[in-house]
Amino acid sequence: MHRLWIGFVPYIAASLVHVGALAVGSDAVAAPTKLTLMPLLALAVVWGVRGAGWTRAHTLLVVAVGLSWLGDGAGTFVPWLPTVPMMLLFFGLAHLCYIWLFWQLLAVRRVPLWAAVYGLWWVVLLAVLWPHLGVLAVAVAAYGLVLGGTAVAASRCHPLIVWGGVFFLASDSILAFRLFLPEAMPGWTSPLVMLTYCLGQGLIAAGVLVAVRARRAATATTAVPV
């Protein structure tokens, strides 16, 4: 199992460099390293799957990571279109993939009662930000639903995925305040957005790899004649 985690070393290193660059205000390093994060995470997934067999769960994970990469680089990849709406679109599609993955393929329990906090989060977030959202109000509300949906679906899965959903939601919540209430957010929240984002995505990817292997092991065990 330890070989699985070797593939995450480049992603972790790039994440630390990127967050560190944000912390010291080095845009020359932060901008290009941001676009390396999701490709390195996808490579970590491929490394983790090698020799074990590719599944539909892995495909959905890589598609979600790829869509997240497009969201990360929306301003670079489609500079002729407004950046924030394109970010919402790409990340919204990524979250739909995550919801499908968690709810349909990796769930191991019912939605726990504590996950109701995500509904409260959505209501409070919109109540605070609504006067500042302008023409993006409906889009942000819809994105909040799929973001919260990812966290709820993650709550049914392996603990790594549960925490991945928590950190991803925290990242986008901080980012929302930075985008729409920038005067209320101190400078240190910029690296915090990416720290929680990298943690969230990394934990989700690791959790999916572990969960798929655990399911295979359980299936193999039950298939052994007694």
Phi, psi of 191 (to 5 degrees): -65, -30
- Give the integer Cα–Cα distance in Å for 61 and 14: 20
Burial of 105 (0-12, 13-18, 19+ CB in 10 A): middle
- Residue 33: is its pLDDT beyond 80? yes
Give 51 or 134, the one with higher predicted confidence.
134
Collect all residues with Cβ–Cβ distance below 8 Å to 89 and sequence separation of at least 6: 71
Q: What single DSSP character describes residue 192?
A: H
- Give the integer Cα–Cα distance in Å for 15 and 13: 5
- Residue 183: is its pLDDT beyond 90? no
Q: What is residue 184's predicted lDDT score, i.e. its pLDDT?
A: 83
What average pLDDT score do residues 111-138 get?
Answer: 94
Confidence band (pLDDT; 50, 70, 90) for 224? very low
Residue 171 identity (one-letter amino acid): S
- Averaged pLDDT of the chain: 92
Confidence band (pLDDT; 50, 70, 90) for 2? low
Confidence band (pLDDT; 50, 70, 90) for 137? very high
At 144-170, the pLDDT tens digits run 999 999 999 999 999 999 999 999 999
Q: What single DSSP character describes residue 110?
A: P
- In the chain, % of residues over pLDDT 90: 84
Give 112 or 183, the one with higher predicted confidence.
112
Burial of 218 (0-12, 13-18, 19+ CB in 10 A): exposed
pTM: 0.93
At 55-77, the pLDDT tens digits run 999 999 999 999 999 999 999 99
- Residue 143: is its pLDDT beyond 70? yes
- In the chain, % of residues over pLDDT 70: 96
- Residue 104: is its pLDDT beyond 90? yes
Alpha helices in the chain (DSSP H): 2-6, 9-24, 27-49, 56-72, 74-77, 83-100, 117-133, 137-154, 159-180, 189-223
- Give the integer Cα–Cα distance in Å for 2 and 112: 30
Lowest mean pLDDT among 3-12, 16-25, 105-114, 118-127: 3-12
At 192-220, the pLDDT tens digits run 999 999 999 999 999 999 999 888 877 76
Q: What is residue 222's predicted lDDT score, i.e. its pLDDT?
A: 63
